[in-house]
Amino acid sequence: MKHVAVATTLIGGLAFVTPAHARAASDDGTPIGGAMLGQRGIVIGAGAKPLPKSEASSFLVADADTGEILAAKDPHGRHAPASTLKILTAVTLIPRLDKNKIIKPSQDACNIEGSAVGLTPNKIYKVHDLLRALMMVSGNDAAVALAEANGGLARTLTDMNAEAKRLQALDTVAKTPNGLDQPGQSSSAYDLALIARAGLASADFREYVGTKIAKFPAPEGKHYEIANHNKLLGKYPGMIGVKNGYTTKALGSFVGAARRDGHTIIVSVMRHEGSFWNEVQELLDWGFAARGKVQPVGTLVAPVPKVKPTKPVGGPAKVTPAPAAKPVELAHDSPVVGIGALVVAVGLLGGAAWVVYGVRRRSRPGGPPARTGDESLTP
């Protein structure tokens, strides 16, 4: 099988493989990831078996270990991301916030529309709790509270868009921290897979997207249980996580990763009118069968190297690649696997009366409708 010339960068134990033509994309107009990814229709490598049918307007299947893209449909097509944008929120804020810091959400955060974990304006939440709520139950209220902890919405959106640019997710424009529809907000199947792959290099990220059931703080020292919206956790063999989304404008979107026999496949879909869960499973199955056997059609590129100024500060800047992070093994014995089972055992012992606490807060009289961005409506 013929391969193009590549450059490889190790980040978090993952090999970011960048073809020579992709590295020059910003100069010559070649689409990020490779020339074939500029096509609007289905792109599939030589030697591949037929793809499963998908009703998504855009999708991508990639080998997360090498970054090779095995198949795609309109991978750079820009669509409203719905709550899959929360992947970028998490990737941006996990390294910026102390997860043990105690947060008091504003009333504005507690009143946000759509999917919510049920925050109250009490100083009872750790950043860790809010990140769980963000990625497990798609808490729009948690997203705003985290943005407040990061210095406010304006600063957080600046940080998110800067992070997207650093990752070379150039189809992505964040106008909210939670993915609620806003004019000009966008992402693509390529970018969602790219951002998710960066997140999977973090053990904390894997924990948040892979926990099935957890306790969540409530007033007066109580708690209630929250459950992950990802229907494939515990159902699809090797499923790691990541995130689903839905609004009436964006329709259904999803990006997920699964690991089998030491290999990880990422699938992303955007703008799906119906239920995408079975299609995602079939695309994952296809990806595991195709990896290493088909000609890749492109690659998930490496982040832009960070610029480190030389001393003295006023002198000319020297571009120095950031040091590689310690290797992270995305194996079945990673922290993600054991956490869900442990939390289930603890959570079932008490707090049953608080299970509906967050739901009641979402449906309070006079509040905004839970229709937009409410992933309980995901098919």
Tell me which residues are annotated as active site: 83, 86, 138
The three-class DSSP label of residue 157 is helix
Rounded Cα–Cα distance for residues 163 and 64 (Å): 19
Extract the tokens encoding 168. Answer: 């070379």
Sign, CA dihedral 46-52-53-56, equals negative
Question: 334: which DSSP letter?
Answer: S
Q: Which residues have C-beta within 8 Å of that of residue 348, sequence separation ≥ 6?
A: none
Q: Do 200 and 257 contact (CB within 8 A), yes or no?
A: yes
Residues ≥6 apart with Cβ < 8 Å to 29: none
DSSP state of 316: -
Tokens of 351: 């707090």
**Of residues 367, 232, 360, 301, the one with CA closest to residue 67:** 301
Nearest-10 crossing angle of helices 140-149, 86-93 = 30
Rounded CA separation 126/364 (Å) = 25
Query: Whose CA is closest to 351, among 209, 214, 230, 234?
Result: 214
Question: 162, 122, 161, 164: which is closest to 145 by C-alpha?
Answer: 122
CB-based contact 107:121 (threshold 8 Å): yes
Q: Which helix (H) or strand (E) holds 257?
A: strand 251-260
